[in-house]
Amino acid sequence: MQLLLDKSVGCLVGAAVGDALGGATETALPEEIRTRYGGWVDGIVPPFHENWATSRPLAPYHKGDGHITDDTLMTHALVRAYAKKRDHLDAYDVAELLVPDLIEREVWIPDLEREAVAFHRLAAAERWLVTRLHHAHADPREAGVGNIVNCGAAMYMAPVGVVNAGDPAGAYAEAIEISGAHQHSYGREAAAVFAAAVAAAMAPGATCGDVVDAALDLARDGTRAAVAAVVQAARGYERTRDAVPALRAAVAPYDTVGEDYRNPGLGARRPSRLHSIEELPVALGMVVIANGGFREAVLGAVNYGRDADSTATMAGAIAGALGGAPAVPADWSAAVAEASRVDLAEPGRVLAAVAAEVYAADADRFARRTDHFKGLS
C-alpha cells in the first residue's frame, strides 16, 4: 500500500500547492500577470493587488503569499466526509456529512486570516450547497439544479479519484452522484471527468496519456469536445508558457464566461450540453505539455490566469497523483503549509487508508455478486 499512500499524498498536496500558487493570479489575464510580476510567475508570489483588502470589496481575500483558498478547504472537507463514512459517498452523504462540516467545524482560513467555519469563505455558487440542502431541504440528488454552472464542484473532486484509484469509470459515476447535490449540466460533468482523470493518474505506472484517454473515454457533450480541442492544441508545444494563447483559443468556443473574465455576459454559467467549464480542459492541456511534470503543469495554469487557482488545483492534483509526493517541490509545499497553517500531507494519508478500506469492501461485495451470478447460470 506504499504506492497508494505516496500517490494519495502527492495528489492532495499537489492540489493544495496548485491552489495556493494560483490564488495570487486568479481573475487576472496573462498580460496583466506579466505586468504585475515582471514576467512569468515561477513560484509563490504576493497578492495581485497590494491593497487586497480594499481593491475588491466584494471579495477581500488575502490570496497569494502561499495561502490556500476555498478549493482546498472544500477538498479537505470532502476528505473528512470520507473519513467518517469509510465507504463510497452519495448525494445524501453530501447533505449529512459534508454540509455540516462546512457550517459547524472551525478551520483556519488563510485568505481571511482568521479561524471560522468554512462556509464564510465560500463563494455564492458553493454556498448553494448549504442553501439548498440545509435550509431548503432539497432532495440531495437534484439539489444542484438551478445553481450557476461553474467549476465549484469540480475543484474539490480529487478525493473521489483517490478513493476509486485505478477505476476511472467508478470515479466518474461516484462524482456524478456526489456533485449532483451541488452542480448540474457541464459543471457536474466536469466534476466527474476530473475525478476520473485523478483515478487514472493513481494507477501504477500511469502516464499523462492514460489520464487523457480516461477523460476522453468518459466525458460527454461539450466537455468532451473541449478536452479534445485543448489537448490537440497542447500537443504542439513543449513549454506551457508558450501555449497559453493557443489553449485559450482552443477552449474559447466552449467557454460561457467570455474574454472579459471579470465581467461575464448574460450567457455565462448557464446550463448547456454544448459548453464546458474552462478550468478542466486547460488543466489537462497543461499536464500534457508538461508530460505529467508537476512544476511545469502548475506554473502553466498559474500564468494562464482567469480562474487560476482552480485550474492549478486540478493540474496539481493530476500531476501529483502521477508522480507521487516527491513530484511536488518540497520548498513550495513547506511554504504553503506554513503560510496556511495546515498539514498538507495528513488528508492524503487519511484518504489512502479510507481508499484501502473501500477497495476491500468492494472486493467483498463483488465476491458476493459473483456467487449469486454463478447461481443464476
Q: Residue length, the chain?
A: 377
Distance, CA of 5 to CA of 181 (rounded, Å) = 29
- Decide: 148 and 257 in contact? Cβ < 8 Å: no
CA neighbours closer than 13 Å in the CB half-sphere of residue 10? 28
Residue 101 annotated in ligand binding:
no
Residues 24, 28, 29: CA angle, nearest 5 degrees: 135
Residue 90 annotated in ligand binding:
no
Q: Three-state SS string across 269-321, please? A: CCCCCCCCCCHHHHHHHHHHHCCCCHHHHHHHHHHHCCCHHHHHHHHHHHHHH
Residue 75 annotated in ligand binding:
no
Distance, CA of 115 to CA of 107 (rounded, Å) = 5
Write the Ramachandran bin of 160: left for phi over 0, alpha for psi from -120 to 50, otherwise beta. alpha
Residue 69 annotated in ligand binding:
yes
Residue 87 annotated in ligand binding:
no
Residue 111 annotated in ligand binding:
no
Residue numbers in the known binding site are 69-71, 307, 309-310
Residue numbers in the known binding site for Mg(2+) are 69-71, 307, 309-310
